[in-house]
Amino acid sequence: MNLKSMTVSELYALLEKISNQMFQIQSSKTNARKKAKQRKLDRLTDKINDELEERGDRCAYHC
């Protein structure tokens, strides 16, 4: 997935999707596999927020 080639609206849509996945992970029983997936989603969220900041569009999740 190349974040630089995505539009700002696509990045925000991806953040929304990640947010929903994180909620599902948090609402279920946690085990090592789910925690690993949560860390992966956290890193992706950070990358998206960095890309949005680079473009001058600060993310609502980051504020």
Write the pLDDT tens digit of every residue in 29-38.
668 788 888 8
> 40 lies in which domain range?
33-63
Question: What pLDDT sits at residue 25?
Answer: 79
Question: What pLDDT sits at residue 42?
Answer: 92
45 and 15 Cβ atoms separated by less than 8 Å:
yes
In a domain, 54, yes or no: yes
Domain count, the chain: 1
In a domain, 21, yes or no: no
- pTM greater than the 0.85 cutoff: no
Phi, psi angles (nearest 5°) of residue 60? -65, -30
